[in-house]
Structure 1
Amino acid sequence: MVNQNSSSTLSKAFNWLSIAFLVYIVLVAVSTVSGGFKLASGGSEGAKEIFAFATNPLVALLLGALATALVQSSSTVTSVIVGLVAGGLPIGIAIPMVMGANIGTTITNTLVSIGHIRNKEEFRRAFSASTVHDFFNLLAVAIFLPLEILFGILEKLAASLSHLFIGDTDLSLKGYNFIKPIVKPTVNVVKDAVSFLDNTAAGVAMVVVGILMILFAVTYLGKLLKQVLVGKAKELLHSAIGRGPLVGIGSGAVVTVMVQSSSTTTSLMIPLAGSGVFTTRQIYPFTLGANIGTTITALLAATAITGAAAEVALTIALVHVMFNVFAVALIYSVPVLREIPLTLAEKLAHIGSENKTAALGYVLGSFFVFPGLIMLAVR
Structure 2
Amino acid sequence: MGDIVPADTGVEGGQQKSEKELDPYELTEDYDYEYQRWNDKTMKEKIQAVIIGTTKLIVVLGCLYLFICSLGLMGSAFQVLAGKTAGDIFTKNEILSNPITGLIIGILVTVLVQSSSTSTSIFITMTSVDLISVRSGVPLIMGANIGTSVTNTIVSLTQSADREEFRRSFAGATIHDIFNLLCVLVLLPIELIFHYLEKLTGAILYGFTIETGQKPPDLLKVLTKPLTSKIISVNKTVITYAALDQYLEPDSSMVKIWCERDDAIIYRNESVKYFNDTGMRIMDNETDLIGNRSVYSLTEEVEHKIKVGTRLCDMDDFLFANTGITDAGVGAILLIISLVAMCICLTGMVKLLSSMLKGNIARIIKKVINTNFPYPFGWLTGYLAILVGAGLTFLVQSSSVFTSTITPLVGIGVISLKRMLPLTLGSNIGTTTTGLLAALASSGNKLHHALQLSLCHFFFNITGILIWYPIPHMRNIPIKGAKALGNKTAKHRWFAVVYLIFVFFLIPTLVLGLSIADEWALWGFLIAVALVLIPVIILSILQSKIPKRLPEKLRTWEFLPLWMHSLKPYSSLFGNCCSCRKNKRRTSNQIKKEVNGLNHEHDSPEFTGMDNIAYENENTSL
Quick check: TM above 0.5?
yes
Per-residue Cα deviation, 1:336-375 (whole angstroms, up to 9, x for no partner): 3211111111001111111122110001110111101110
Identity %: 37
Q: Could you tell me which of 68, 74, 97 is aligned with 2:140?
A: 97
Task: Report what 1:126 is aligned to.
Answer: 169
Match of 2:407 among 270, 277, 281: 270
Structure 2 residue 493 is matched with structure 1 residue 356: yes
Distance between the aligned counterparts of 1:173 and 1:343, measured in 2? 43
More displaced, 96-105 or 239-248? 239-248
| Residue 80 (structure 1) aligned to one of 114, 119, 122 | 122
| Count of residue correspondences | 285
Shift of 1:209: 9.2
CA contact (8 A) 1:241 1:286 kept: no
- Paired AA for residue 449 in structure 2: V
Structure-2-length-normalised TM-score: 0.43
Q: Does 1:71 align with 2:71?
A: no
Distance 1:61 1:242, change over 3 A: farther
The 2-side partners of 1:271 and 1:327 are apart by 25
Query: Separation in 1 of the partners of 2:207 and 2:452?
Result: 11
User: Aligned equivalents of 1:84 and 1:242: distance in 2?
Assistant: 45
SS at 1:143 equivalent: helix
CA distance in 2, matches of 1:314, 1:150: 23
- TM-aligned CA distance change 1:82 to 1:369, over 3 Å: same
Q: Is the 8 A contact 1:131 1:345 kept in 2?
A: yes
1:297 aligns with 2:434: yes
CA spacing shift, 1:77–1:278, aligned 2, 3 Å: same
Amino acid at match of 1:106: S
Does residue 320 of the first structure (1) align with residue 451 of the second (2)? Answer: no
Question: Which of 181, 188, 204 is residue 161 of structure 1 equivalent to?
Answer: 204
Shift of 1:155: 0.7
Whether the 8 Å contact between 1:82 and 1:301 is mirrored in structure 2 is no
CA-CA distance at 1:86 after TM superposition: 0.6
Q: 1:314 to 1:203 in 2, by over 3 A?
A: farther
Structure 2, gaps ≥5 residues long: 1-86, 216-236, 257-364, 373-380, 517-622
**Matched residue of 1:372: which SS?**
helix
Higher relative strand content: 2
**Structure 1 CA distance for aligned equivalents of residues 255 and 201 of structure 2:** 25
- 1:91, CA displacement in angstroms? 1.3
What amino acid maps onto 2:405 in structure 1? L
1:51 aligns with 2:88: no
Aligned counterparts of 2:167 and 2:459: Cα–Cα separation in 1: 33
Distance 1:361 1:253 in 2: 31
Tell me if structure 2 keeps the 8 A contact 1:128–1:348.
yes
Aligned to 1:342: 479
Residues 199-231 of structure 1 deviation map (CA, whole Å, 9 limit, x = unaligned): x975557xx99998xxxxxxxxxxxxxxxxxxx
Q: Deviations over 1:169-228 (max 9, x none)?
A: xxx234xx4669xxxxxxxxxxxx99xx9xx975557xx99998xxxxxxxxxxxxxxxx
Cα shift at 1:62:
0.7
From the superposition, tell whether residues 301 and 65 of structure 1 become closer, same or farther in structure 2 (CA, over 3 Å): same
Q: Which amino acid aligns with 1:77?
A: S
Other-structure match for 1:62: 104
Which residue identity does 2:387 align to in structure 1? G
Q: Once structures 1 and 2 are overlaid, which stretch shifts more, 126-135 or 348-357?
A: 348-357
Structure 2 counterpart of 1:113, from 153, 156, 169 = 156
1:297 positional shift: 2.4
Q: C-alpha root-mean-square deviation of aligned residues, in Å?
A: 3.0
In 1, are the aligned partners of 2:213 and 2:441 still within 8 Å (CA)? no
SS in structure 2 at match of 1:125:
helix
- The whole-number CA distance in structure 2 between the counterparts of 1:361 and 1:377 is 22
Deviation string, structure 1 residues 107-160 (Cα, Å, up to 9, x no partner) = 111111101101111100100111001000000001111000000111111112
Q: Kindly provide the CA deviation profile for residues 86-117 of structure 1, in whole angstroms up to 9, marking residues without a partner as x.
A: 11111121100000000000011111110110
